[in-house]
Amino acid sequence: MRVIAMKLSKQQDRKAPIMASQDHILTLSCPDKAGIVHSVTGVLAKQGLTVLDLQQFSDPNLKKFFMRVHFGHADSTSQLQAPFGDLAKDLEMDYQIVPEAHKPRVMIMVSKIGHCLNDLLFRQKTGQLNIEIPLIVPNHPEFEGLAKSYGVAFHHLPVTKDTKTEQESRILELIKEQQIDLVVLARYMQIISPRLCSEMSGRIINIHHSFLPSFKGAKPYHQAYDRGVKIIGATAHFVTADLDEGPIIEQRVARVDHSMSPKELLDEGSNVETQVLAAAVKWWAEKRVFLNGHKTVVFN
């Protein structure tokens, strides 16, 4: 059993409005068995709470159960600690309860290609993404002006073969200092070390500019051009120590044809990349993404 307690940062606590009650999101996973939904909703009902939305999935191969429950209207979740603690023991259940309004703190890492970075900043600014972006960590200086225009801190950490270990240690320090919940690689063209992958397991999302598992590695649009493909795509996935092999969160495609140049494929693909990455970040922030071995369960 693993219980995840959500502790708001000082910045979030100061900004959070005082509310008599608010909606919460419950997420859980456990070995599959009969009666899980009845048991969970029964606990909520006994506390006078209302289920507003419920999504569930039973994996028949791994015999594992996943559920996301949107419930209201709780003055606090303290009254749920004891009954859910007992239920978690009985069901061997990992669970988490967070306020629906909670905004995860997201660090964006980028190199020299900025369309995904710009898109995420715009969506956050306009309220399309319920997240905070306290800092951007690039390995090149190109987007300092963009960061300033959005009022986001910019920590340029150049990476070379000789400085990679040192800079990744600094990245981990920033994650701790800024209480980062999620790292997004918005076309960050550096391989993440096994150490960083391990310490941030399930909390690093990458956008790969191809429809994985096709065309891994560098210049996938040129690879696609050489093969004469009729569709191109993008993949948002969790980062693991295996390059471009992490659990897939979202994929989308666009149709192309023989007349298009590598540049035209790249332009079309860039549009797909922004859509896919934004969707993955949104779903993660809304507690809709569950790791399930080498795959994910996504309630969207």
Tell me which residues are annotated as active site: 244
CA–CA dist 193, 172 (Å, integer): 12
User: What count of Cα atoms within 13 Å lies in the side-chain half-sphere of residue 190?
Assistant: 25
Q: How many CB atoms lie within 10 A of CB 12?
A: 17
Give 17-55 as a DSSP string: PP-S-EEEEEEEEEE--TTHHHHHHHHHHHTT-EEEEEE
CA–CA dist 108, 136 (Å, integer): 5
Radius of gyration, alpha carbons of the chain: 21
Residues 28 and 67 sit within 8 Å (Cβ to Cβ): yes
Note the residue count of the chain: 300
